């Protein structure tokens, strides 16, 4: 196996592949899985890894660079404060990553709150709050107090996938598990949830961005 691949064995049921901005490939695997199985898994996803590395390498936040947020493409330009306007993503000359994260958190709060409110009103869900995190390991979560949380990295996702996340976490306010009953609720609202969930895998690179 390539020395660029780091294997982390832990108590989990499935293999998970991540590509870091440094170029390192990280595979999280169940404790009993063999190196041969892991190698085959990495090879199977070779094209996906190449695409993620290409995306990482291109995201430098320099003027003129293009970045897609919430399904809309923007061109980065220097401005006094971070903002999206007229097809441009304005970022200050210094501390661009920090400014971008603050902007993404504001945008995520507005966007995800809108989706949550829409589905909650339509299907009778109740929740206590919508929060924004910097999580890298999950797109969203639901606490026992029905507080919904979404990482600001959801701003790199198109609307269809964010709608799936909103529905997923709202369904957890009724079923705090992934039982058949839980998935039946999700499917009642989004019959194509499987396709949307699968599509999320192509955006895992957003979890490895250096900010």
User: Is 79 contained in some domain?
Assistant: no
pLDDT digits over 44-99, tens only? 888 787 777 666 655 789 999 889 999 999 999 999 999 999 999 999 999 999 99
Give CA 45 to chain center in angstroms.
19
Q: How many domains does the chain have?
A: 2
| 157 found inside a domain | yes
Q: Taking 80 as the threshold, does the pLDDT of residue 34 lie above it?
A: yes
Q: How far from chain centre, in Å, is Cα 50?
A: 19
Structural domain range at position 106: 101-208
| Residue 122's CATH number | 3.30.2010.10
Residue 123 clears pLDDT 70, i.e. is over it: yes
- Are both 38 and 137 inside the same structural domain? no
| Average pLDDT over the chain, rounded to an integer | 91
* Cα pseudo-dihedral 61, 66, 69, 70, rounded to 10: 180
Residues 25 and 105 in one domain: no
For the whole model, what pTM was predicted? 0.75
- Per-residue confidence band for 108, with pLDDT thresholds at 50, 70 and 90: very high
């Amino acid at each position: 196996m390539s020395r660029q691949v780091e294997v982390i064995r832990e108590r989990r049921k499935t293999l998970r592949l991540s590509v870091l901005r440094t170029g390192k490939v990280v595979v999280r695997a169940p404790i009993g899985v063999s190196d041969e199985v892991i190698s085959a898994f990495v090879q199977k996803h070779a094209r996906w890894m190449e695409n993620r590395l290409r995306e990482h390498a291109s995201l430098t936040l320099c003027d003129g660079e293009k970045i897609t947020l919430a399904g809309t493409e923007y061109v980065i330009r220097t401005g006094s404060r971070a903002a999206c306007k007229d097809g441009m993503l304005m970022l200050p000359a210094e501390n661009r990553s920090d400014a971008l994260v603050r902007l993404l958190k504001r945008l995520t709060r507005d966007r995800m709150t809108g989706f949550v409110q829409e589905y909650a009103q339509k299907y009778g869900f109740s929740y206590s709050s919508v929060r924004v995190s910097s999580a890298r390991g999950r797109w969203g979560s639901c606490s026992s107090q029905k507080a919904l949380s979404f990482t600001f990295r959801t701003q790199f996702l198109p609307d269809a996938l964010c709608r799936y996340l909103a529905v997923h976490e709202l369904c957890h306010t009724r079923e705090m598990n992934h039982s058949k009953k839980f998935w039946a609720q999700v499917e009642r609202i989004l019959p194509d949830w499987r396709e949307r969930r699968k599509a999320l895998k192509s955006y895992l690179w957003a979890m490895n961005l250096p900010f």
